[in-house]
Homo-oligomer: A and B are copies of this chain.
Amino acid sequence: MINRKKATLPRYNQGEALSPWREHINDVIFGFHTPMGRAFDVILIVSIIISVLAIMLDSVEAIRLEYGDWLFGVEWFFTILFTLEYFLRLICVRKPWLYAKSFFGLVDLLSIIPTYLTLILPGAKYMLVIRILRVLRLFRVLKLAEYLGEANVLMRALSNSRHKIMVFLYTVTTLVVVFGSLLYVVEGEGSGFTSIPKSVYWAIVTLTTVGYGDIAPVSPLGQFIAATIMVLGYGIIAVPTGIYSAELVRAYTGGDKAIGEPCMTCGETGHDKDALFCKHCGGSLEAEED
């Protein structure tokens, strides 16, 4: 009953029809149901990957010295390509200003601006991080038909459990502050616990089981407390995992079916979302709507 294609259109692309050629470009650039739209997405993804790899290689001293000119060329080629694409998007979208302010609109802009800025500004290194943000454009790949539903399930489960995850992060924060301060007092400056923020950093490294080993307790008492926080960290990983698993299990097994409409004939609920007829009495589930 819901027009799926329409429903997934971003807000900045909803509205009345455009002139035929703008509608066509819109379909190619923003759409993903036509062969050309899909081809555009694939080319875009390949371009982004090459361009991001070029930025990464450019940061390797040895490679820049040898192939610097090539990489410079690649960078400008893709920057100009992305600039053209950005203007095409602005031209053919229904609400250009809404698009420009949207998350992807900003990422699209941020992925071209820094290259132009390097012409007038020094400090290329800081521009580099902004330029590499164009990797975020890759998330457009999720528009590809095969990922669309999957990403939605994952995001909805995440969104459903956001309060529980906040409670979890909250507890983790409290734990690392308390244990970090404890180790700061117990261990002292000799073994690297020079301040509470640094000790809290150590506590995070330990609780998350990363364990660099750049800071590590050496006194027996310090090691005993550290062992406690390790076992805690090892154990409470169960909490976010459990929350997310349970949420997905509910989504998979149709645990939220209870919300659905009851059968008009026998009144039974618990029907699958795609059910047209009651599984208990065979009565139509949609009789009243026609």
Contact = CB atoms under 8 A, between A and B. Distances in A.
Select the residue from A52, A146, A243, A276 with max chain B CB neighbours within 10 A.
Answer: A243
Given A129-B181, A138-B174, A271 B279 contact: yes
A60 interface: yes
Interface stretch (A19-27, A81-89, A248-256): A248-256
Interface in A46-76: 52, 55-57, 59-61
A90 interface: no
Interface string A239-273: 11111111111111111000000000000001110
Interface string A155-169: 001000001111111
6 contacts: A56-B195, A132-B178, A208-B234, A209-B210, A238-B244, A252-B255
Interface of A: 52, 55-57, 59-61, 125-126, 128-129, 132-133, 135-136, 138-139, 141-142, 146-147, 150-151, 153-154, 157, 163-170, 172, 174, 177-178, 181-182, 184-185, 194-198, 200-201, 204-214, 216, 220, 223-224, 226-227, 230-231, 233-235, 237-255, 270-272, 274-284
